[in-house]
Chains A and B, each alone.
Chain A
């Protein structure tokens, strides 16, 4: 069981970048939390350490996850924390703020955008892999999402990593003269002519790791909530509507 403790926790923390160094303005409890994370997942990049809503705990944002650490650094909790009075998912809400900030930092020029003709009602960011079945299925219905008022902004997340065949395809699509057409053709199974140019694919792949992408497609709402994986156009509208409800308890 000993080994599995770390395994369960660490497996859930996307491993990326360098370990977070102690910060000068950390409280003792925050330093303790940082140390716990450094022991559990030495490679993980800590995005934030702050006081948790419940007394006696700090919360750490790492790899798109929220980990709660007791002030003495002895106990860790992981899961969804709810405010029972307000019936609010505090974990989801906090992570969404973090994800929104990170996604908003990606300029429109770095996205591949399929927008409805009129003003979109919803906007989703979709981390996608040109070779993933459900990603292809989603894109084959792109007109239907658009018709329902959903703008789909794609970011690349080649699951096999930088330098993989899917990565090369993503770069080729990005560098094509007609990017959107090349994207759609690749989604239909065509191999794009090999091209190279300055591109954001590696950055987007890294960003995916930071916001907790654990498979493709990984879909996020405009306010940073993780919508999940593939949903058909009607299910997507229903889900986005439900996410817009402020006191939602996602159970």
Chain B
């Protein structure tokens, strides 16, 4: 009999310890935001903490569920921004799923070759998006292929209609370039991926345009990306770092 009680005790104790990261995170987050959706919960390198994605935010929850950190984690010994790396992984997986049929692609033309491909969330009515596209030939000349995804912002009324008109033009690339130069793209309509790519941006925690993401899913600061030279150098650096890791 005593044995049985001990066994049950062990079993219950065991169950409590074996709560999954999902269960621990659920419980912790529920206290603050009952409706929040836990996208993922997993072990993290930070001792005693799980890493989780809630909505589009990264949080850290202590394994006993008592503490939740809304912020970032760093591995100081190896100089790594762990949150940024996790965010990049999630973005890469999500962007890899977006087929070429949902992008507007400006790739270097032969004899130029693409050395890097970046994804740019863009809006025809955003001034910095326009300035970025003015330099498209220079990016291509540096071996950078630019894949645009539409993310018309609600602060630019009508930008979604323009995006659709561009998408539905016969010459999609040409229409994109002239809309970026401020020309009215007309009002063609057709089935299009704009709502989908805009939702994707939001689910990845992207709230502004242009948002420029490198091949590894790492967001590149606009002040770097607005210069073709600086962007090429940054992409070379990232590629070298990735090669060194693998």
Contact = CB atoms under 8 A, between A and B. Distances in A.
Given A5-B79, A56-B48, A251-B32, A84 B74 contact: no
A187 B238 CA distance: 48
B76 interface: yes
Interface size grouping (class) on chain B: 35 or more
A55 B48 CA distance: 8
Interface of A: 1-2, 4-6, 8-9, 36, 39-40, 53-57, 68, 70, 72-85, 87, 90, 249, 251
A74 B71 CA distance: 17
Q: 4 closest pairs, A vs B, by CB?
A: A79-B71, A84-B28, A76-B74, A54-B67
How would you classify the secondary structure of chain A's contact residues: helix, strand, loop or mixed? mixed
Contacts of A36: 76
A77 B74 contact: yes
Contacts, number: 102
A28 to B, nearest CB: 16
Contacts of B60: 77
A1 B70 contact: no
Contacts of A90: 67
B66 A75 contact: no
A50 to B, nearest CB: 16
Contacts of A87: 31-32
A151 B54 CA distance: 39
A82 B75 CA distance: 21
A70 B70 contact: no
B45 A82 contact: no
B66 A85 contact: yes
A60 to B, nearest CB: 12
Contacts of A85: 31, 66
Given A85-B31, A87-B32, A249-B32, 6 more contacts: A6-B79, A55-B48, A57-B48, A77-B73, A81-B69, A82-B32
Given A5-B79, A84-B31, A85-B31, A77 B66 contact: no
B72 A78 contact: yes
Contacts of A56: 47-48
